Chains A and B, each alone.
Chain A
Amino acid sequence: MATTVHEPPKHDLERLPSQGSGNGGWRNLVPADGDLPRVKDHAPPPASTGIWVGLAAITMTFAAFTSALVVRQGAAPDWQHITLPSILYFNTLLIIASSVTLEISRRRVAAFMGGIKDRAANPARWLYITLALGVLFVAGQTFAWVQLKSQGFGLATNVSYSFFYVLTVAHALHLLGGLGGLVRVIAKLHNSVLRRSTLDATSRYWHFMGVLWVYLLFLLWMKL
């Protein structure tokens, strides 16, 4: 049977994993029951593996920043204490809320794709709310930077401020990537080409950004 890359594999039973490769790449391929909209997901799951690999790399990067912070703090007595701008705590609530709304949306899509529900109950609305919360978070972070800067605390004021800016900006940049992912998911949803693995991967990334932020806040609160 001819199967080329740009055609969907038409439930090709021959391509199911055989014995000896139970963890092969086609594990997610489910034979269709003829009802295409109910098929869970044709795609093999590289997106779900890939997202974990990507998160591992991001974890390494922030681990490197963390160890740099710890070493640098111990290297010289010039470390200054920072009072964190209180808006950061409000931002934390925003990002936690955004994880919740995204999860609601994801479950609705999952229930629909899994055939449990006939219609998805407007998952786009929750995605838009997530997006808005994310944008608000970035705006809140920007407010914190502007506020500190206006108080005369710049990047080079003291190394504790350097770390504050580096860590928060690095996190915000990664979060912008997540916002891009959300926009992509929404666009795909509107064009009815959203894959569940794409949504899952995007939401994992987003949740990770939340966890990472809570970790960073704790680190900054404890060390700065």
Chain B
Amino acid sequence: MHDMSAHAVPHGAPTSFIRKHVFSLDHKVIGKQYYALALLAALIGMALSWIMRIHLGWGSFAIPGLHLLSSTGAPGNVLTPEYYLQLMTMHGTIMVFFVLTTAPFAAFGNFFLPIQTGAEDMPFPHFNMMSFWVTFVGFWVLIASFFVADGPTLGGWTQYAPLSAIGSVGGPGQGLGVVLWATSIAIFCVGQLFGSLNFITTTLDMRCKGMSLMRLPLTAWGWFITSVMGLTAFAVLMPACILLILDHVAGTSFFVASNLVINDQVLPHSGGSTLLWQHLFWFFGHPEVYIAIVPGMGIVSHVLITNMRKPMLSHRVLIYSMAALAVLSYMVYGHHMFVSGMNPISSLVFSFPTLVITIPSTIVVLMWLGSLYGSKLRINSASLFALGFVSMFISGGVSGFFLAQPSIDIMLHATYFVVGHFHLVMGVAAMFGIFAGTYFWFPKMTGRMMNETLGKAHFILSFIGAYCIFMPFHYLGIAGNVRRYQAFTDDYLIPLIPVHKFITVAALVTGFAQLIFVYNLIHSRFKGAIASDNPWQGTSLEWSTATPPPHNNFGDKMPVVYHDPYQYSVEGASADFIMQTSPEKINSPNEEK
């Protein structure tokens, strides 16, 4: 009747190959699996963006082998308009869900959250394993839509109803393609809910002796706040996807209005609400932006602190700002719908919290800049990407001033300005966060160092390249260039074609720079220099265990925490960093009492 083996982590070190590497219960293996999935997804997403960019620069250019992907979508290797939209939809969906959510949150969070809290594993390892494998299935369901009769959906990653809900009369991919899309996303939601459940419980319940909440590193805080957002947001997107699927396969009318006519035929639906989908989607969609970026904020702060050799000006202010972003993110989602036809008063109501959200964002940036002052900054690949993140976050953030205002949004809505804005702030910035995390933690994850020269080359090319791609997007948008167009036939868009050609060249070059990273990753995994336990002289718990960490993270001795996470350059201390596990008594102004 009693659990004799009562313990938080009911699994020992695995012995079989399958338990070790495939259906592993170990959060570290699951983290690496998520990372691998994100890497694969990112490469597919990037390839799709190349195809789109080539098409936008040189519309009739034949891309060798493209017909193998779809003979109808690319006859003679040249993209058709519908196939352009299908690839665009897949690019957005893959990147947002399977890269920007999985890599910074699920991959790094899984690997490092239990270690940084001083736990042996997550509390529900089976849920954790399911989280990955469910997400994995979701990914392949989405990819499968490339290979069904009329290809993937062309409805855009926001999948606005009723286009997404009326079935194949809406266009190629709107039949089975949408069903696969919605199924994939619903599955993905389940996976992330399992993940969030583990993350929240780990943070609250699995902390080691002496690890109070405020002693958690900023990364752990980033993941914790993100998991609370994820729990709420994905729990709303999932029912929305279910209703969408029912409209499709069961003929219900949640989102499809009465008397819609396609090909002179009245559709057999009645009374559905177009705006209902948008409300449900953006209630998830805006927090999703912060789900992508808040883990990056945590990673960047963590990497910067270690490389500045001093803590943030205020640990608490950064945590409170991230929490404020999370709370506000639910109150601003309507800014995606200023011109959607919802009540114009609502637009004004949504506009103010949207403007207010710039305050915590600004505080975070000022904390980074202010902490940089008077530091002893080390330049390496990780810190460069972290600083690059700061620069990108600023650039992507200021364009938010425009889009937060309904009056200016009348002009800029659905133009390339928006595309530039979200690519900088949640695409490139989040990617830079992932890169910073990779260069920083690769030694701990694999036991080997990455090549610094290649890392720096990768950085400088990506930094310049990303600006060359995404800054001109803003100019296009200001000139009125509408997004989701596969060609620029309108008279007023013709003068903008040279800008598109420039962007295409920049995108190709920047894309190739990412191959340097992939090479570095694979090469260093097998041939990199052996890493020590604490190569960056860090203080948090991941640096006090072996490299790579043993199965139960800390070996024989569970850690006991004596200090706040970032005790660098403490006056009178024995070294320039005091690890959290060091019992040394210090007198630091940054130490919480």
Q: Are B273 and A43 in contact (CB under 8 A)?
A: no
Compute how far the CA of A75 lies from the CA of B204 in the bound complex, rounded to whole angstroms.
Answer: 42
Q: Are A24 and B7 in contact (CB under 8 A)?
A: no
Question: Interface extent on A, as a size class?
Answer: 35 or more
Q: Are A78 and B231 in contact (CB under 8 A)?
A: no
Partner of A25, one of B1, B8, B121: B8
Chain A residues whose C-beta falls within 8 Å of the C-beta of B273 in the assembled complex: 71-72, 75-76
Chain A residues whose C-beta falls within 8 Å of the C-beta of B202 in the assembled complex: 46
Q: Mark A168-200, 1 if CB is under 8 A from B, else 0.
A: 001000000000000000001100111100100
Compute how far the CA of A60 lies from the CA of B283 in the bound complex, rounded to whole angstroms.
Answer: 11
Q: Are A120 and B1 in contact (CB under 8 A)?
A: yes
Query: Known: A20-B212, A44-B205. Is A156-B7 also a contact (CB below 8 A)?
Result: no
Compute how far the CA of A53 lies from the CA of B122 in the bound complex, rounded to whole angstroms.
Answer: 14
Q: Does residue A58 face the partner (Cβ distance < 8 Å to B)?
A: yes
Query: Known: A15-B209, A57-B235, A72-B276. Is A46-B2 also a contact (CB below 8 A)?
Result: no
Q: Does residue B279 face the partner (Cβ distance < 8 Å to A)?
A: yes
Q: Does residue B246 face the partner (Cβ distance < 8 Å to A)?
A: yes
Q: Does residue A151 face the partner (Cβ distance < 8 Å to B)?
A: no
Q: Are B4 and A8 in contact (CB under 8 A)?
A: yes
Chain A residues whose C-beta falls within 8 Å of the C-beta of B7 in the assembled complex: 5-9, 42-43
Q: Are A46 and B271 in contact (CB under 8 A)?
A: no
Stretch from A61-69, A139-147, A202-210, A213-221 at the B interface: A61-69
Compute how far the CA of A180 lies from the CA of B209 in the bound complex, rounded to whole angstroms.
Answer: 35
Query: Known: A75-B276, A156-B250. Is A5-B242 also a contact (CB below 8 A)?
Result: no
Compute how far the CA of A46 lies from the CA of B239 in the bound complex, rounded to whole angstroms.
Answer: 27
Q: Mark B559-577, 1 if CB is under 8 A from A, else 0.
A: 0110000000000000000
Q: Does residue A37 face the partner (Cβ distance < 8 Å to B)?
A: yes
Chain B residues whose C-beta falls within 8 Å of the C-beta of A72 in the assembled complex: 254, 271-273, 276
Compute how far the CA of A88 lies from the CA of B316 in the bound complex, rounded to whole angstroms.
Answer: 51
* B-facing residues in A4-48 (Cβ within 8 Å): 4-9, 14-18, 20-21, 23-26, 36-37, 39, 41-47
Chain B residues whose C-beta falls within 8 Å of the C-beta of A41 in the assembled complex: 3, 6
Chain B residues whose C-beta falls within 8 Å of the C-beta of A54 in the assembled complex: 197
Q: Are A50 and B5 in contact (CB under 8 A)?
A: no
What is the CB-to-nearest-CB distance from A13 to chain B, in angstroms, rounded to a whole number?
Answer: 11
Compute how far the CA of A20 lies from the CA of B207 in the bound complex, rounded to whole angstroms.
Answer: 12
Q: Does residue B200 face the partner (Cβ distance < 8 Å to A)?
A: yes
Chain B residues whose C-beta falls within 8 Å of the C-beta of A188 in the assembled complex: 3
Q: Are A194 and B235 in contact (CB under 8 A)?
A: no
Q: Does residue A222 face the partner (Cβ distance < 8 Å to B)?
A: no
Chain A residues whose C-beta falls within 8 Å of the C-beta of B551 in the assembled complex: 5
Compute how far the CA of A166 lies from the CA of B123 in the bound complex, rounded to whole angstroms.
Answer: 32
Q: Does residue A77 face the partner (Cβ distance < 8 Å to B)?
A: yes
What is the CB-to-nearest-CB distance from B329 to chain A, in angstroms, rounded to a whole number?
Answer: 14
By beta carbon, the residue of chain A nearest B209 is A18
Query: Known: A47-B123, A53-B197. Is A5-B5 also a contact (CB below 8 A)?
Result: no
Chain B residues whose C-beta falls within 8 Å of the C-beta of A112 in the assembled complex: 1
Chain B residues whose C-beta falls within 8 Å of the C-beta of A57 in the assembled complex: 193, 196-197, 231-232, 234-235
Q: Are B236 and A162 in contact (CB under 8 A)?
A: no
Q: Are B11 and A5 in contact (CB under 8 A)?
A: yes
Q: Does residue B495 face the partner (Cβ distance < 8 Å to A)?
A: no
Chain B residues whose C-beta falls within 8 Å of the C-beta of A45 in the assembled complex: 205
Compute how far the CA of A15 lies from the CA of B557 in the bound complex, rounded to whole angstroms.
Answer: 11
Q: Are A44 and B206 in contact (CB under 8 A)?
A: yes
Compute how far the CA of A193 lies from the CA of B10 in the bound complex, rounded to whole angstroms.
Answer: 12
Chain A residues whose C-beta falls within 8 Å of the C-beta of B462 in the assembled complex: none
Compute how far the CA of A43 lies from the CA of B124 in the bound complex, rounded to whole angstroms.
Answer: 13
Partner of A61, one of B8, B239, B271: B239
Q: Does residue A159 face the partner (Cβ distance < 8 Å to B)?
A: yes
Q: Mark B229-250, 1 if CB is under 8 A from A, else 0.
A: 0011011101110110010001
* A-facing residues in B270-298 (Cβ within 8 Å): 270-273, 275-276, 279-280, 283
Compute how far the CA of A14 lies from the CA of B273 in the bound complex, rounded to whole angstroms.
Answer: 60
Partner of B235, one of A9, A64, A71, A193: A64
Query: Known: A25-B119, A43-B6, A77-B271. Is A17-B1 also a contact (CB below 8 A)?
Result: no
Q: Are B2 and A76 in contact (CB under 8 A)?
A: no
Q: Mark B106-128, 1 if CB is under 8 A from A, else 0.
A: 00000000000001110110000
Compute how far the CA of A44 lies from the CA of B419 in the bound complex, rounded to whole angstroms.
Answer: 47
Q: Are B197 and A159 in contact (CB under 8 A)?
A: no
Partner of A195, one of B6, B9, B201, B211: B6
Q: Does residue B213 face the partner (Cβ distance < 8 Å to A)?
A: yes
Compute how far the CA of A43 lies from the CA of B227 in the bound complex, rounded to whole angstroms.
Answer: 24
Compute how far the CA of A195 lies from the CA of B123 in the bound complex, rounded to whole angstroms.
Answer: 14
What is the CB-to-nearest-CB distance from B214 to chain A, in angstroms, rounded to a whole number?
Answer: 9
Q: Does residue B257 face the partner (Cβ distance < 8 Å to A)?
A: yes
Q: Does residue B168 face the partner (Cβ distance < 8 Å to A)?
A: no
By beta carbon, the residue of chain B nearest A198 is B3
What is the CB-to-nearest-CB distance from B401 to chain A, in angstroms, rounded to a whole number?
Answer: 30
Compute how far the CA of A128 lies from the CA of B560 in the bound complex, rounded to whole angstroms.
Answer: 44
What is the CB-to-nearest-CB distance from B111 to chain A, in angstroms, rounded to a whole number?
Answer: 17
Chain A residues whose C-beta falls within 8 Å of the C-beta of B200 in the assembled complex: 49, 53
Partner of A21, one of B3, B201, B207: B207
Compute how far the CA of A159 lies from the CA of B153 in the bound complex, rounded to whole angstroms.
Answer: 25
Q: Does residue A86 face the partner (Cβ distance < 8 Å to B)?
A: no
Chain B residues whose C-beta falls within 8 Å of the C-beta of A9 in the assembled complex: 7
Compute how far the CA of A6 lies from the CA of B8 in the bound complex, rounded to whole angstroms.
Answer: 9
Chain A residues whose C-beta falls within 8 Å of the C-beta of B212 in the assembled complex: 20-21, 23-24
The 3 closest A-B pairs by CB, nearest first: A76-B271, A46-B123, A6-B12
Chain A residues close to B by CB (< 8 Å): 2-9, 14-18, 20-21, 23-26, 36-37, 39, 41-47, 49-50, 53-54, 56-58, 60-61, 63-65, 67-68, 71-72, 75-79, 109, 112-113, 120, 155-156, 159, 162, 166, 170, 188-189, 192-195, 198
Other A-B contacts than A14-B560, A65-B239, 5 sampled, CB-CB below 8 A, are A20-B215, A42-B3, A57-B197, A76-B272, A192-B2
Write 12 A-B pairs (CB below 8 A) sorted by A numbering: A4-B556, A18-B560, A21-B215, A25-B119, A49-B205, A50-B197, A64-B280, A65-B239, A68-B243, A68-B280, A71-B273, A78-B270
